[in-house]
Amino acid sequence: MAFLDQHPGIGYPAAAGLGLLIGSFLNVVILRLPRRMEWQWKRDAREILGEPDIYEPPPPGVVVEPSHCPHCKHKLSWYENIPLFSWLLQRGRCRHCQAPISIQYPLVELLTAVLVLASVWQFGFGWQGFGAIVLTCFLIALSGIDLRTQLLPDQLTLPLMWLGLIGSMDNLYMPTKPALIGAAVGYLSLWTVWWLFKQITGKEGMGHGDFKLLAALGAWCGLKGILPIILLSSLVGAIVGSVWLYARGRDRATPIPFGPYLAIAGWLVFMWGDPMIAAYRQWAGLA
């Protein structure tokens, strides 16, 4: 690790390559994890309702099964599976059936590579940088899944929170106390908003996954990060949401997932929270 710190000419390209590889794995998680969850829910529901157990073949697992073209089922060989470059070389089409390949693949790969680079640039090639990469990957997977399915799986939000808390035991970014209180306050703050909204309007304006995601971000950013994350995510959400509604012309009841905004705000506060808060205080004349 010290070697990579002293030789950024090797460290940064290695980080970018690693980011592309992780991004290609995150694509698989984003596509396959929700299908796997839905399959399990259906099976559990049949059991609870006492319905006969119909055999449904399980959807492909996240880790083991190889990638294939969703259109012609052709299994991808290694040179068709190189992150970013295969998509560019094949001009976004399957080599066999010419079916278009979603731009989600290269976008997630590129985004992951850029954010992994930012993580090591900010925190270096040590445990702090490694932790930042882990957080970044979870947030990309959660955002992608929320955008596609309006779900924030417990399988991702809860481990992310535990990892943040475990890291704080060794004082990775902060001591345990602010991390633990951050997680609790993160959960309770959005839960309170949800509860009040429900009492007043009788509707549920937010999913429970959002509370758990903010709890996880509290474990990584600490108590002092919670308010900036809420403000920043609401701001980004309001801007993107209005543009989206204006462009799509949908009615206002269309659910727009809040998870990606929380993830973006949480990531920014984790990376540059202190300078951001200092700049805000100066701007507001509080310094």
Of 67 and 149, the one with the shorter C-beta distance to Zn ion is 67
CA dist 284 and 287 (Å) reads 8
**Residue showing tokens 């990309």:** 140
Rounded distance between C-alpha atoms, residue 152 and residue 138, angstroms: 11
Residue with smaller CB distance to Zn ion, 71 or 208: 71
Comparing CB distances to Zn ion, the nearer of 88 and 239 is 88
Q: How far apart are CA 217 and CA 160, in angstroms?
A: 8
96 touching Zn ion, by CB under 5 A: yes
Least spacing, CB of residue 80 vs Zn ion, in Å:
10
Please list every residue from 52 through 71 that binds Zn ion, using CB under 5 A. Answer: 69, 71
Does 145 engage in binding with Zn ion (CB under 5 A)? Answer: no
Nearer to Zn ion, 90 or 155 (CB): 90
Q: Smallest distance, Å, CB 60 to Zn ion? A: 16
CA pair distance 136, 80, nearest whole angstrom: 26
Min. distance of Cβ 67 from Zn ion in angstroms? 11
| Using rule CB under 5 A, residue 36 touches Zn ion | no
The torsion region of residue 91 among left (phi > 0), alpha (psi -120 to 50) and beta comes to left
Q: Does 72 bind Zn ion (CB under 5 A)?
A: yes
Question: Closer to Zn ion at the Cβ: 32 or 68?
Answer: 68
Work out how close the CB of 73 gets to Zn ion at its nearest, in angstroms, rounded to a whole number: 7
Q: Is 101 in the site for Zn ion (CB under 5 A)?
A: no
- Cβ pair 129, 123 in contact under 8 A: yes
Report, in Å, the least distance between residue 82 CB and Zn ion. Answer: 17
Residues in 76-95 that interact with Zn ion by CB under 5 A: 94
Q: Does 97 bind Zn ion (CB under 5 A)?
A: yes
State the nearest-atom distance from the C-beta of 94 to Zn ion, in Å: 3
Binding site for Zn ion (CB under 5 A): 69, 71-72, 74, 94, 96-97, 99
